[in-house]
Amino acid sequence: MIRIVLTASQTPFGAAIRWITKGQVSHAMIQSPDPQWGGEWIAQATLPQVVRVPAEHARHNVYVEYRCKFDAEAALPKLRDFMGEWYGFGGIVILGWIKLWWRVFKRKLKVPHYTVKGQFCSELVARFFQAADLPEVAAWDVERITPEDIRRYCERHPDLFEKIEASALF
């Protein structure tokens, strides 16, 4: 069973992400079983790079998670090229400035399309959704998707995601 796991870190960085995005969550990850290595594993973009780690090393401050009801296994190999990429710190800074500008001045900041090397957490999950060819996501600018956008998308699509109750969590 492949899951989208969303967390709400209590660190200053996590709190800043939630404040800037007016969101409930600050980090997004993909959890999947691995029969070769055993147990559950997390794919995530985190400092310093995109990695897969045993789930118990990454599952902290879980806010909500969703079981994928679509053929998620077919989309996972399409993320292979992103594994080992550096964390998209530049992208998160740009996204933060755009969102902060909106929060303070209530005006959209005109920013030319930007592309930075690296991935950040919600960008990786958005690319996973695109690889699975989910509705609406083909038009997403993945570099502007936040963890809160991921949470809202999962909530809006109960046909694609099943919310996992706390009693059923890992």
8-12, 107-111, 112-116, 132-136 — most confident range: 132-136
48: cis peptide before it, omega within 30°?
yes
Within a 10 A sphere around the Cβ of 90, how many other Cβ atoms? 15
Using one digit for the tens of pLDDT, what is the confidence trace for 90-123?
A: 555 555 656 666 667 766 545 444 444 567 789 9
Residue of higher predicted confidence among 8 and 94: 8
Assign 109 to helix, strand or coil. coil
pLDDT for residue 112: 46
DSSP labels for 8-62?
---SHHHHHHHHHHT-S--EEEEEEE-TTT-SEEEEEE-SSBEEEEEHHHH--SE
Using one digit for the tens of pLDDT, what is the confidence trace for 148-161?
A: 999 999 999 999 99
Q: Is the pLDDT of residue 15 over 50?
A: yes
User: Which helix (H) or strand (E) element contains residue 71?
Assistant: none
- For 3-168, CATH number out of 3.40.50.300, 1.10.150.120, 3.90.1720.10, 3.40.190.80 equals 3.90.1720.10
Assign 111 to helix, strand or coil. coil
Q: Is the Cα torsion angle 73, 75, 78, 80 positive or negative in sign?
A: negative
Q: State the average pLDDT for the chain.
A: 84
Per-position b or e across 20-55, b if 16+ CB within 10 A of its CB: bbebebbbbbbbbeeeeeeebbbbbbbeebbbbeeb
Q: Is the pLDDT of residue 67 over 60?
A: yes
Q: Is the pLDDT of residue 83 over 90?
A: no
Residue of higher predicted confidence among 163 and 84: 163
Residue of higher predicted confidence among 10 and 90: 10
- Give 45's strand partners: 50
